[in-house]
Structure 1
Amino acid sequence: MIVGEALWVSIGVVALAEMGDKTQLLALLLAARFRRPWPIVAGIVAATVVNHALAGAVGAWLASAVSPAVLRWGLGLSFLAMAGWMLIPDKVDEDEVRIPPRWGVFGATLVAFFLAEMADKTQIATVALTIHYAAPVLVVVGTTLGMLLADVPAVFVGDRLARRVPMKVVHAIAAAVFAALGVVTLLGVGERLGF
């Protein structure tokens, strides 16, 4: 495996998957509500690092606990399921951002983002990519950077970004990437190429 591939694919897949995702919509909502971008960005970074580190640990554990054949089929089917899931638009409710004011902007963002990211597309993608590449640190760094590439601009430019980016096209591209990863994994192409 080319070491950089795990990092770059993780960045690209998650940045695409995050466009129009629930947590990106949450970033827009938090920015509109609090109008203090830096504590929001700090909360997003902290929540994402913890969440994706947990996902990477789960992926590493699964890779060591499950037989390679079962793992390949499970992973391939998971990538294909992610492709389908990418085509379903996400929504965020105001209730999801009702955090006690005593926690401040950073605390509200940290808690809201961490909870919204649980079992979300990007967390599941982090597990799957960790299994696929067997490089948990590179995958977690990559998925975290991908998440930040999509969410930090949303905090600063808000709705202007959302209106200019064709979300259906972005989701279709992300779905195609996940589908390609699924097919390649199911066919075992990576193993034959030495990945």
Structure 2
Amino acid sequence: MIATILLSFGVLFLAELGDKSQLMALTFALRYRWWVVLAGITAASIAVNLIAVGVGHFLGATLPTGVIALITAVVLLAVGLWTLRETIHTGTEDDEAAEQDSGARSPWRVFFMVLSAFLLAELGDRTMFAIIALASSHNWVAVWIGSVVGMVAAGGGAIALGILLGKHVPERAIAIGSGLLFLYIGAATLLSAFAPGLGRLTEYAIALLAPALAGAVLWVLNRRSTNSASRPALPNESVESGSGQIR
């Protein structure tokens, strides 16, 4: 049983290194409290790996990965767009207030957001198929324990990196980077599910178009906002404060 636990741990840990799930853990850690993110990842890992070993040991069937991948991509793209939308209304002078809002956000809300995102992302992922294969020929309890620990360990490493970066990067830059990363992960999820023949490098290259396009739009909007704020007021536009008279 110990050998099976170590085998499952090694397979999951190595499979998660550099995977989209680890990138998600890094992105969440940049925005929210690390312990809430880690708790969400742990709960999702327990659930998704229990499903995987159940499928491998008891059912011998697979899940509708195409539908799950589509839902996952939609969720990630929506989170990315929402995050970028918030940055449009947040100026650089509001960085401190934005940081306080990010840190004070309801832990339960963040927990369920991380839990649902990871649960959807891992269902039907390549790591799940690895667990199904292991559970079909090994002790399913040992496979489940090892896979959960391996997934949490990989996520913990990404969270540690997010904490390190968060101490040296402004909150507004973190928000923009997080939004773009979510868009990238969502686009990559869609491509891996519906165009598996592209190959990893091609898939990742095409997925970069989504954050690149969003970044260009955000840059244009910020330029317009900056130009409007810096444009000198015309004589007919200036209103004397408190008098109600137009100068």
What TM-score do you get using the length of structure 1 for normalisation?
0.59
Separation of aligned partners in 1, 2:130 and 2:26: 22
- Partner residue in 2 for 1:174: none
Shift in CA distance, 9/106, structure 1 to aligned 2, threshold 3 Å:
same
Separation of aligned partners in 1, 2:35 and 2:119: 17
What RMSD in Å do the two structures reach over aligned CA positions? 2.9
Of residues 41, 47, 51, the one that matches 1:50 is 47
Q: Which amino acid counterpart does residue 126 of structure 1 have in structure 2?
A: I
Answer whether contact 1:14 1:122 (CA < 8 A) is retained. yes
Separation of aligned partners in 2, 1:105 and 1:47: 13
Aligned length: 130
- Partner residue in 1 for 2:11: 13
- Partner residue in 1 for 2:124: 119
Shift in CA distance, 129/25, structure 1 to aligned 2, threshold 3 Å:
same
Shift in CA distance, 4/156, structure 1 to aligned 2, threshold 3 Å:
same
Greater RCO, 1 or 2 (C-alpha within 8 Å, sep 6+):
1
Separation of aligned partners in 2, 1:96 and 1:160: 26
Shift in CA distance, 118/160, structure 1 to aligned 2, threshold 3 Å:
same
Answer whether contact 1:122 1:143 (CA < 8 A) is retained. no
Report how far residue 32 of structure 1 moved. 1.4
Cα offsets for 1:1-56 (capped at 9, x unmatched): xx22211100001100000111111101111122x100100000001101100111
Report how far residue 118 of structure 1 moved. 0.9
- Partner residue in 1 for 2:110: 105
What TM-score do you get using the length of structure 2 for normalisation?
0.47
Q: Which amino acid counterpart does residue 48 of structure 2 have in structure 1?
A: N
Report how far residue 97 of structure 1 moved. 3.9
Separation of aligned partners in 1, 2:162 and 2:34: 10
- Unaligned ranges ≥5, structure 1: 66-90, 162-195
Shift in CA distance, 45/97, structure 1 to aligned 2, threshold 3 Å:
farther
Report how far residue 62 of structure 1 moved. 4.0
Residues 173-184 of structure 1 aligned to structure 2 (within 5 Å): none
Q: Which amino acid counterpart does residue 37 of structure 2 have in structure 1?
A: I
Indicate the SS of the match to 2:137: helix
Report how far residue 159 of structure 1 moved. 8.6
- Partner residue in 1 for 2:23: 25
Shift in CA distance, 97/125, structure 1 to aligned 2, threshold 3 Å:
farther
Give identity over the alignment, percent.
40
Q: Which amino acid counterpart does residue 36 of structure 2 have in structure 1?
A: P
Question: Is 1:59 aligned to residue 56 of structure 2?
Answer: yes
- Unaligned ranges ≥5, structure 2: 62-72, 83-104, 166-247
Q: Which amino acid counterpart does residue 17 of structure 1 have in structure 2?
A: A
